[in-house]
Amino acid sequence: MKQIVILISGRGSNMEALIAARDAGRLPVAIAAVISNRPDAAGLATAARAGIATRHLDHKAFASREDFDAALADCIDGYAPDLVVLAGFMRILSEGFVRHYEGRLMNIHPSLLPSFPGLHTHQRALDEGVRIHGCTVHFVTPTLDHGPVIIQAAVPVLDGDSEESLAARILVQEHRIYPQAVRWFAEDRLRLEDGRVRIAAELSDAAGLISPELR
Ligand code: GAR
């Protein structure tokens, strides 16, 4: 079974969705550890209650981004994960860190990338008057909130929406698509071809295409 490490900075609701999917038998992974750059991240207590190893590494204690990222990579690599899952990890990552985890570093972002990279995505979507907004799970590249898209979900922007109401509608979708993306990775179904993600058919689907006498 594949091992994952989850990185958080705060509430950890996406992490909780991953734990819930694992517990429900919908996500065949072992969660080796949850690591936060903020010692007071609420998600750390949630992970500990679920019996998962937790670590914190305060970025403020490091002289440079590169120093922090090197220590973070050491901490992560101690668990030898197959996949590193950024779940509300609010740090810009150095190029060296991203390259080290190329093809095994996933992020969720609260917009339909490439629209609205960065912060305050919901307010910016409201300010622009877009009719559709959403969330994206992607493999991470050195460019902020950029990289091959694995799955997206869209929601309507409704008259009278506030930043909070829009965020809440999208969070429901985040909690649906992140476990799905990690599950595809766990099942070895994601392939990167020419900078795009291809999702292989489920084995059960493929088996269904083969007539019984040939199986
Ligand atoms: C989520 O909405 C996630 O998409 C966003 O932070 C929130 C974390 O919530 N991530 C980013 O903005 C990354 N660029 P959570 O801690 O409850 O999962």
Same-domain pairing of 135 and 72? no
Same-domain pairing of 122 and 212? yes
> 18 Cβ partners below 8 Å, 6+ apart?
4, 6, 27, 31, 85, 87, 178, 179, 182
Which protein residue has the closest C-alpha to ligand 1 atom 7? Answer: 88
Residue 176 has pLDDT above 50, yes or no: yes
Same-domain pairing of 120 and 197? yes
Same-domain pairing of 95 and 54? yes
If one residue of 46, 109, 150, 163 were mutated to test the ligand 1 pocket, choosing by the most ligand atoms within 8 A of its CB, it would be 109
Structure tokens at 4: 């994952």
Same-domain pairing of 123 and 31? no
Global pTM reads 0.94
Same-domain pairing of 121 and 184? yes
* Pocket of ligand 1 contains residue 11 by CB under 6 Å: yes
Residue 209 has pLDDT above 60, yes or no: no
Q: Domain total for the chain?
A: 2
pLDDT band with cut points at 50, 70 and 90 for residue 210: low
Closest CA to 135 of 158, 115, 106, 161: 115
Residue 173 has pLDDT above 90, yes or no: yes
Residue 73 Cα, ligand 1 centroid: separation in angstroms? Answer: 21
Which CATH number is 38's domain given?
3.40.50.170
**Quick check: is 146 catalytic?**
no
CA dist 66 and 62 (Å) reads 9
Residues 56, 109, 138, 175: which is the catalytic one?
A: 109
Which protein residue has the closest C-alpha to ligand 1 atom 1? Answer: 88
Same-domain pairing of 31 and 129? no
Same-domain pairing of 84 and 180? no
Same-domain pairing of 203 and 128? yes
Residue 213 has pLDDT above 80, yes or no: no
Range of the domain at 206: 109-215
The pLDDT tens digits for 137-165 are: 999 999 999 999 999 999 999 999 999 99
